[in-house]
Structure 1
């Protein structure tokens, strides 16, 4: 006989890449997870998880329990939410994914304020610049900076705020090395690359008068952290291509100078991706999305 606590425990194990990860998700020791899993298997009389190797693999019986158990747990959550809604309350577990830098600056404050307003909502905020590596079924809402050519099946995209990309450099760098007059001039400059997502970050694409001009840069400095890249630019180490939200204050203060003003770059609007339809309909998801949209309208970097 399986209880709801058993189902929630096993789903946490099934969704984790390892027993160690499951123990962190459950906030217990790995040995406690192993013992409880073994006891569950003995009680049911079936083998649920193949522990061979570094990663977990569900057996056929484990897959069956995970699939049907998720439906049961989701149905119970829907019932709790429906009853809470009748009492005018917002409850449940809200899982949010956002980019590292943007998430710290713009999503985390909204999440904290939202949880304070709705104390019966538990929020998990995962910051990652590799949205493609996060399973779509593991979040209720994801924030993405940049156009989305096609959302994954089952996901709903909503535009939250405008955001341009700009090429810029510090006045000290330009004084020492000159100001590029055309995109092709960038080949003779020290360019800095930000390695994020799965984009071709050394191919910079400019557009003028309807014509695209592509420049393949050879970065002398590169990092996967936007703050590092911005810091290098402020220190006069080279030219960067960054999102408007990240460097707008530096441009206004003169710490950075916008380059090639007659050219445009592909914009990178701030987008929201909603998870499975049930999660998208949940009051906590809808209300948090409304709160985030309000915080980004007007876009703070353009205020």
Structure 2
């Protein structure tokens, strides 16, 4: 006999690439997950998961259990939300994913305040180099900077965020002045490598002169935005960074905007929600708290947040 607890457990396993990942999500050891999975398979009398190397895949029977289990878990969550709503309470488990730097600076404090305001909610905040829509099945809210892509998902904008071409005063003092994007080909440029994006093709728009693209040849590159920002501060070259990340540096003169008339494409701060998770009261309440904390955006206040670290 399969219980509702079994279905909740197996849904976590089914949504993971390995038993080790399942263990992290369940906050238990990998051997504990293996033991419980074996016990479940023995009770149903068939194998539910194929284990090959470090990865796992569902058998046909496992896929059947997962699909039915999803419906049961959804029904249990909906019932829990409705009951909580009748007593004006928010309860359950909330899984939030966010970029490292932005998450530490702007999401973690909201999680802290939210947990204090709603003691019936448990929250897991995962910070990652690249929050992606593919994580929606195992999370409630994914905070993302930039266009999330054409996937089937609910997307809500949390705050505006320009991207700014910038460099240190020391670097700019020792090089010829820049008058147009094409001049960047003669300068040291710093880039953040993200996914499979063509990060060496920089695009700009001018209010009166239209659009321009330029193929730069990076002097330095990294997959960590914090590193690129530090290189820019150290005078290594010119970088495109998110407004939220460098607003304080610009305000205090550690960085200067380059070609201020030419704007790179903006990268709004958005929340991606799975269609299954978007209905929960805890998700709605958390999004309300997060949106309130970002309105107006801290990086556009008179005292923008201090140095941060992250992508975007």
Question: Is this a same-fold pair by TM over 0.5?
Answer: yes
What corresponds to 1:299 in structure 2? Answer: 297
Relative to 1, partners in 2 of residues 1:198 and 1:127: Cα closer, same or farther, differing over 3 Å?
A: farther
Q: Which residue of 2 aligns with 1:22?
A: 22
Measured on the aligned residues, the alpha-carbon RMSD in Å equals 1.6
Farther off after superposition, 113-122 or 126-135: 126-135
The structural deviation recorded for 1:282 is 1.1
Q: What's the counterpart of residue 264 of structure 1?
A: 263
Residue in 2 aligned with 1:220? 219
184-193 vs 200-209, which moves further: 200-209
Within 5 Å, give how 1:1-303 maps onto structure 2.
Answer: 1-132=1-132, 134-148=134-148, 150=150, 152-153=151-152, 155-208=153-206, 209=208, 211-276=210-275, 278-303=276-301
Deviation of residue 271 (structure 1)?
Answer: 1.4
- In the aligned structure 1, how far is the partner of 2:172 from the partner of 2:178? 9
Give structure 1 stretches of 5+ with no counterpart.
none
Residues 73-82 or 244-253, more deviating: 73-82
Q: Distance in 2 between matches of 1:210 and 1:177?
A: 24
d(CA) in 1 for partners of 2:10, 2:113:
32
Per-residue CA deviation, residues 259-288 of structure 1 (Å, 9 max, x unaligned), is 101212211111122212x42121111111
Q: Deviations over 1:118-175 (max 9, x none)?
A: 111111222224233633222211212123453x21x212122111111110011111
TM-score, normalising length: structure 1: 0.94
Normalising by structure 2, we get a TM-score of 0.91
Q: Which runs of 5+ in 2 are unaligned?
A: 302-312
Shift of the alpha carbon at 1:178? 3.1
- Provide Cα deviations, 1:103-128, integer angstroms capped at 9, x if missing partner: 11111111111111111111122222
| 1:44-73 Cα distance to aligned partner (Å, 9 max, x none) | 111111113321111111111111011112
Q: Would you say the 8 A contact 2:140–2:274 is kept in 1?
A: yes
Deviations 1:166-223 (A, max 9, x none): 1110011111223312111111111100112443211111122252111111111111
**Is 1:179–1:259's contact at 8 Å kept on the other side of the alignment?**
no
- Secondary structure of 1:47's aligned partner: coil
Aligned length, in residue pairs:
300
CA distance in 2: counterparts of 1:274 and 1:10, whole angstroms: 22
